[in-house]
Structure 1
């Protein structure tokens, strides 16, 4: 069994370390800060697990990922996904087309009229005519707890997790690689997996990868996104579904915020954000945590118009990072013992434990990643 270094301890890195360690590989995780820290893309308690893709490839991938999540919950003894169901609606969302894909793949769902949906979920203002798609298998992932669970399982299988260990360059060292930090500290491994999200643009030029491979990688656009927590108007135990609402000029998503949205007074909070509504930055190193006032105004107005069950005044707000490819497909490929993994574009969290398996397969040479995730040189 070879020795692996996994750079990054977010959802992707933690999942990869767990999958490699359980196969008997020697694994060292190098995390620049702490696992699932707030400067990355895997922090907090609220990420959507949904099946609502127009592409059957991703719908099937969600179904496969759900089986991996179930196994992770069994092995960890924790509930990492809260069941909520999910709604897709809006004039530009095409719920009927999504329902046709669900029918084809075998995902339980209902296609409702706006009036039928409003009777069930009075907190929403549904437009007439376009319909509303409901699928009950969706839920909310506790991302931070999932990272902790996967790292705990990886450690139980012998993995070593090193925090406060940024990697600034990688060089050849004998039959493997030497990973160097800014303080000169070095770690050696036969194979390397790079899973650092929005920090990837800064490291790519310092990887000993062939120029044709680097040139063929899709361009990565890091976005500093904004998210807001809005209070529910009514106290109580009603479970809000996750949702995707798409109009011609904006795509908004929302979900119960879990610990991130904790409030007093019996009212829960709903996390609402505009998909790719933030600002582009060079890399994660350029983030400043500042909320865009224009984005806040758009979301407040959107909540006022379409979510009457929420008070249109956010009581908390935060930023997070999306690392986008032009097609929104992931990148999982490598050469000469270095695997680059960027399950990105704002929709990778739901696939985490499955992606760990796919990346471990790719890094070990057991099986290539799906073709659309590979780099064509």
Structure 2
């Protein structure tokens, strides 16, 4: 039997973006329903686990300022939820492609504390790592708890009146006599005035089921979904694991390395792998898949070999044998910008290219401004017909 509910806003997806939109919309007193195909912060999506990087370092001052804005939201969220969601670590950026000096100029322009070090100076301060270029250090970075953040935002949203439906897999969004009818894969329906689609890696498969204006569809960028591989390597010093588990700050920094042969990111692994080591992944090192439906959770052995080689070369403080491995989803667009744009009453939210987590509390603010008629989100994050090289 078909079950119909109604609301002003339906949010498809209960990851970081969807939960943030639910929180910010519910704060205004709006009637909100969240439709999640699995469970919030599902292990099959991009918002699971306790270990994501919070950082300020971007080559573009626009994004540095955006992180500054987001940090105010993090402070608000932690105060409102009573939960510590960001653990201090500081962050290192190095490698010739990463361009530490360019990053430093961007941080300087926005007044973010940082320090430039030579490779030798960095080695003396962090002997557990090795460096092949000058190094940028910025102490304001940390490790954010993605799953805890989703739970905190949804708890606040529900306290403000939002409803959350789990096991509710949206299949289509069609025009109704007024507003839209969202239909699930099992035939349940929700009638709403507006829809916010925050479906992550499921977005490419869902697009054909959305009643979007044709011009808007033509302007959407190409979405590329990757099944990334992440590896946890144990610390050689067991004390590092103990400190990471117990303290408000980690003993290891997060770091991003971009060289000519490999690009990686790393952070303390948190409870995802028992606080025993460092999480490392090759940026965009996983295979391209059509959508989240095609993920198989299998680790790529060649990717493991490349990342282990990186550990052997640059991380003497880790044992180069992974003790835990997992896959996760990255949804990319060609320019690496986030997509937050609206076609009539349907808003597409895709904080793409592995960068959305740090902006989580701000994403809902941008969605709220957009659905309320503001232009705050649209200029930089508007759909703009981007295509990857070689794709017409």
- Normalised by the length of structure 2, the TM-score is 0.93
Q: How does 1:1-377 map to 2 (within 5 A)?
A: 3-127=8-132, 130-236=133-239, 237=243, 239-262=251-274, 268-376=276-384
SS at match of 1:116: helix
Separation in 2 of the partners of 1:204 and 1:351?
Answer: 24
Give the deviation of 1:368 after TM superposition: 4.0
Separation in 2 of the partners of 1:363 and 1:250?
Answer: 40
Separation in 2 of the partners of 1:137 and 1:84?
Answer: 8
Runs of 4+ in 1 over 2 A off after TM superposition: none
Structure 2 gaps of 5+ residues are 1-6, 244-249, 386-392
Give the deviation of 1:114 after TM superposition: 1.2
SS at match of 1:314: coil
Aligned residues: 370
Give a deviation string over 1:1-34, Cα, whole Å, max 9, x none: x710000000000000000000110000000000
Separation in 2 of the partners of 1:176 and 1:223?
Answer: 33
SS at match of 1:190: strand
The root-mean-square deviation of aligned C-alpha atoms, in Å, is: 1.1
Give the deviation of 1:370 after TM superposition: 4.1
Give the deviation of 1:62 after TM superposition: 0.7
Greater CA drift, 147-156 or 176-185: 176-185
Greater CA drift, 269-278 or 111-120: 111-120
Give a deviation string over 1:101-136, Cα, whole Å, max 9, x none: 111111100101111111111110112xx3111000
- Normalised by the length of structure 1, the TM-score is 0.96
SS at match of 2:83: coil
Mapped contact 2:370–2:378 kept (Cα < 8 A): no
Separation in 2 of the partners of 1:227 and 1:85?
Answer: 21
Structure 1 gaps of 5+ residues are none
Greater CA drift, 168-177 or 284-293: 168-177
Separation in 2 of the partners of 1:261 and 1:121?
Answer: 23
Separation in 1 of the partners of 2:252 and 2:89?
Answer: 7
- Counterpart position of 2:388: none
Separation in 1 of the partners of 2:371 and 2:41?
Answer: 22
Mapped contact 2:341–2:378 kept (Cα < 8 A): no
Separation in 1 of the partners of 2:119 and 2:378?
Answer: 38
